Structure 1
Amino acid sequence: MLLVLTACGQTKEMRPIDKLYSNIQPLQYKSMNRYFIEANQSGCFYELYVNGRMVFNLFKQVGLMGHTTCINDAILKSGMQEVTVKLYPLGQTEVERFDTFTKNARIEVKIEKYDTQVEDSDEKVVTFKIPEASTRSKNDIKIEGLPYYEHTFTFYAEVPYEVTGWSESQDLTKMDQKQLEKEVVAFYNNFGDIIYNQNEKTWVEMVRKRELEILKTELYNNMKNSTILDRIEGFKQMFNSTFKRKVPLDKYKMIFGGKGRIVALKSIERTGRAAFSFGINDTYLGKKRKTRISRYIYLHKPKGSNKLEIIR
């Protein structure tokens, strides 16, 4: 009996992050589509938004560059979805400065999907393309000489789930914008304090809805997927960090999405970065390093509430 009691007394309580992802049952539907946005560009920088939420950006001078990103967490339910492509000139390079697009600037953005239940089910949904001058026909889009370009297109997505997300949230653009700005800044500062003070339990309470919706929409609650396992490990590193640093908000501008229902702070000091950041240890190539993490935190006010909450 003493042995049993001693063993029970030594049982380690599950940490808050592990509790958040515990007892998650995988979802099974006849069709389980995952949608991806893929971009290939040269001679320009860009930001990609799906339903008003930034899903990817590139502001590194790396020549021809391509990437693929899952966008299901920006798709709340089946129906028409909106994609916005924002293009920027290269600015100062090692050779010269480009404040407008050159004739070589180009980008191709594709939306593709595949059904996780069906092998070899990859399917192209829609493509948007700006070709460089040497391959452009008279009906193609021309951007050389412009300081900025933006294009929005839509596509139809069919998913078996439906999440609330920000669909029933208040329109923040109709609020007093100075008051909203004060509330957003206060929220970010408090959130930064929670990370700095390594208050894991409170952090979990604040991100719970976001995490459960992302898990459901992007991964159909598949807890064996490496994406979610890496995500969990990254969060644990944040709270296990022996180094921590408070970082003041960058100079910023408020950006809205989801028809004005979500808001985030975008840096105007560091191109393409979020205004919110914090310093921690992370592991890169097997070695610990001190690093500054910048993250877009999208906030909303749920229906019937006057309190900002994290939604993405």
Structure 2
Amino acid sequence: MNEQVEAILGNLYKQVKNRDQTVNYHAEIQIGGCAFEVLINDMPVYKYAGNDGSGSIGLSAPINNNILKSGPQTWEVRVFPPEVKGKRLTALPEGVKIELSVEALKFRTDGVDNVSEPVKLIETPKKDKDGKQIYADAGKPLMVYKGTFLAKVPYELKGWSESVDLSKEDEKKLKTELVLEYEKYRNWIGHNESVKIAQSLLSSEKETAQSLFYDKALNDEYIKTFNESWGRAGITMYPLENYKMVYSGNGKMVTLERIDHLYDPALAGWYILKKDSAEDRRLKTFYLNFHRPKTGAPLEVIR
């Protein structure tokens, strides 16, 4: 364990307020037969490339990190044609299934309680075709569904709420600045500069700790995850290439994603995992969201 990293990120839980009022919002996702993006407050929760055609994804994703304060929250589901036999379809198929709901939970050592009744945000819109119920928007090139729900959390985070709208900046200059930031992190990871990485993530991780109500156990788990990813020694980084800028947070956040691999982050590398006498080459990806806190300020990691 890196003691300097521990000193920087190991005490996040000590600053968490209102832990006795803990509430964990989760997005319950059941979507199949398509590629899709689920966003809360215009910040990605889950993206799926739909590379197996009719496959279905079901998961419960924590979303407190997307919620800055109590009140109305926005949700959005973007649906795209899947890839079948290596080729992306041009239209949404009849078998698309969409279900999205939000739950407010309180975790206990011996279980979990529902703070309130789950709120269903959307379920598959259907229409009749030859006596059979099919996806109502089949045949369209894409669909976007959106709405709002209410959340009540015992915290208020600044996050990206007062940040600059990056989508209004000069795109070429912004990309140049962003790529330089990515190259900096690429160099840090490749040279195992985990202390510098920890320092750069501190502000963002303080907000994450509050939104997820870290106690010491959760903080320790985060440190373990950090050391196995950002702090892992022996990672060989891939070149930064074939990327595009992707905005979120209503234009206030930006990241780099691969152009040739849908939704894959641009920052990636590989390492060798040794087990017994075998060696296994593993891929490691790193996702960063940057914002500009105020006009004239440099880009910083926000999530």
The TM-score with structure 2 as length reference comes to 0.86
Which residue of 14, 17, 29 corresponds with 2:3? 14
Alpha-carbon spacing, 1:100–1:241, altered in 2? closer, same or farther (3 Å): same
Which residue of 2 is the match for residue 45 of structure 1? 35
Q: Determine the C-alpha separation between the residues in 2 that align with 1:105 and 1:141.
A: 6
Q: Determine the C-alpha separation between the residues in 2 that align with 1:106 and 1:177.
A: 36
Alignment of 1:85 onto 2:74 = no
Q: Determine the C-alpha separation between the residues in 2 that align with 1:57 and 1:230.
A: 24
Shift of 1:112: 1.2
Task: Give the number of the structure whose residues are more often strand, by fraction.
Answer: 2
Shift of 1:38: 1.4
Q: Determine the C-alpha separation between the residues in 2 that align with 1:268 and 1:53.
A: 19
Shift of 1:221: 2.2
Deviations 1:32-51 (A, max 9, x none): 22111111122112111111
Alignment of 1:280 onto 2:271 = yes
1:1-312 alignment runs, 5 A limit: 14-22=3-11, 24-25=13-14, 27-28=17-18, 31-59=21-49, 60-61=51-52, 63-93=55-85, 98-116=89-107, 119-121=113-115, 123-131=117-125, 142-218=136-212, 220-225=213-218, 228-238=219-229, 241-281=232-272, 289-303=280-294, 305-312=296-303
Identity %: 26
Gaps of 5+ in 1: 1-11
The TM-score with structure 1 as length reference comes to 0.83
Aligned partner of residue 39 in structure 2, secondary structure = strand
Alpha-carbon spacing, 1:297–1:288, altered in 2? closer, same or farther (3 Å): farther
Q: Determine the C-alpha separation between the residues in 2 that align with 1:73 and 1:114.
A: 15
Q: Determine the C-alpha separation between the residues in 2 that align with 1:52 and 1:192.
A: 27
Shift of 1:141: 7.1
Alpha-carbon spacing, 1:272–1:235, altered in 2? closer, same or farther (3 Å): same
Gaps of 5+ in 2: none
Shift of 1:291: 2.0
Q: Determine the C-alpha separation between the residues in 2 that align with 1:153 and 1:111.
A: 12
Alpha-carbon spacing, 1:120–1:263, altered in 2? closer, same or farther (3 Å): closer
Aligned partner of residue 123 in structure 1, secondary structure = coil
Shift of 1:212: 1.3
Q: Give RMSD over aligned pairs.
A: 3.1
Q: Contact (CA 8 Å) 1:241, 1:282: kept in 2 or not?
A: no
Q: Contact (CA 8 Å) 1:83, 1:152: kept in 2 or not?
A: yes
Q: Determine the C-alpha separation between the residues in 1 that align with 2:296 and 2:66.
A: 22
Shift of 1:64: 2.9
Aligned partner of residue 69 in structure 1, secondary structure = strand
Q: Contact (CA 8 Å) 2:81, 2:88: kept in 1 or not?
A: no
Runs of 4+ in 1 over 4 A off after TM superposition: 131-135, 281-284
Aligned length: 296
Structure number with greater Rg is 1
